[in-house]
Structure 1
């Protein structure tokens, strides 16, 4: 599926004030990740010290299917505005609870096309590969949360709100408060699909 965006829409996706709200990592395969003062991204691997880092898939269900599959889920990002919306719906979801590595504020992650490059601060850079396909473990954080994060749109299509996945293109540290800059891919843009 491909789509085009106007310059006004692109400015809404990529405002000048986009920032990192928090960062998280965990060396064990747990659903939630503790927040940290900083994380280090390693080219081609992911978040240093995180259980999901690796050139090939690290998520347990994917390893069971085919452990040689390339890891397109090295870094998980969620927009903080989602947590704000969930709080309004009565769900208390703190940074790191949904297993994200980077919580952003001020950027429409779900509206970015596949292949978008995201740079943090002065160095670390990732490329968006697709949407996170959330699992039923999300309901451990609150009954009905999974239905809130995966629903059907007015057109009948499944809408996934649990963030995006990426691979690391350039090493660097990422800390809360870091500026976020975005470079859209050249040519026709492709909508994000689950990875």
Structure 2
């Protein structure tokens, strides 16, 4: 892929956030595995994560979560099945189509907010309602490479062609 997402936002020329944790869902129903680095593959997600195998080029290649949401929900990294925890960016307020640079190589594009599902009630009763608006953002990988814990996260451009999802209301 050519220089997709490489155009820096002129107002943001250095990392705005930081990668706090990287996690893989190796198999359905098993705990997430925390790793110090992950290899992102264009159109797939992280190597070793089951989501990219299930639906290549789908809208849910990665789930990104804001560290502040984890703290607010009193959860540890991986409990909400996220692949990447970041700090320093208002992730929930970013629009679909927002592109992010992860480390030096990886570029992802946000596709839509992750809607909490009933599986969260198995973790803790009431978590479905608590996590509404704090469940993170789904993303697809536009440019692969290695991302490591501690890498910077940069705001890049916004894809003007990205579909604008409708945010569902709390049930």
TM-score normalised by structure 2 residue count: 0.81
* Partner of residue 180, structure 1: 153
Alignment counterpart, residue 124 of structure 2, candidates 119, 122, 142: 142
Q: Is the 8 A contact 1:54 1:71 kept in 2?
A: no
Greater shift in the superposed pair: 25-34 or 125-134 = 25-34
* Residue 140 of structure 1: how far off its partner (Å): 2.0
Q: Is the 8 A contact 1:44 1:54 kept in 2?
A: no
Matched, 1:45 2:44: yes
Larger-gyration structure (1/2): 1
Where do residues 121-132 of structure 1 align in structure 2 (5 Å cutoff)?
Answer: 121-132=103-114
Deviations 1:114-169 (A, max 9, x none): 1111111100111111111121111222121111012xxxxxxxxx3200001101
CA distance, structure 1, for counterparts of residue 53 and residue 157 of structure 2 = 25
Q: Alignment partner of 2:51: what SS? A: coil
Name the CA shift for 1:56/1:194 in 2 (closer, same or farther; >3 Å): farther
Unaligned runs of 5+ in 1: 1-10, 58-69, 88-92, 151-159
Q: Is the 8 A contact 1:112 1:191 kept in 2?
A: no
CA RMSD of aligned residues (A): 2.7
CA distance, structure 1, for counterparts of residue 36 and residue 62 of structure 2 = 17
* Number of residue pairs aligned between Structure 1 and Structure 2: 158
* Residue 56 of structure 1: how far off its partner (Å): 2.7
Name the CA shift for 1:122/1:189 in 2 (closer, same or farther; >3 Å): same
Matched, 1:164 2:137: yes
More helix, by proportion: 1
Q: Alignment partner of 1:173: what SS? A: strand
CA distance, structure 2, for counterparts of residue 49 and residue 186 of structure 1 = 28
* Partner of residue 98, structure 2: 116
TM-score normalised by structure 1 residue count: 0.72
Deviations 1:167-192 (A, max 9, x none): 10111111111000011326699765
Name the CA shift for 1:194/1:166 in 2 (closer, same or farther; >3 Å): farther
Q: Alignment partner of 1:28: what SS? A: coil
CA distance, structure 1, for counterparts of residue 14 and residue 126 of structure 2 = 32
* Partner of residue 75, structure 1: 62
* Residue 26 of structure 1: how far off its partner (Å): 2.1
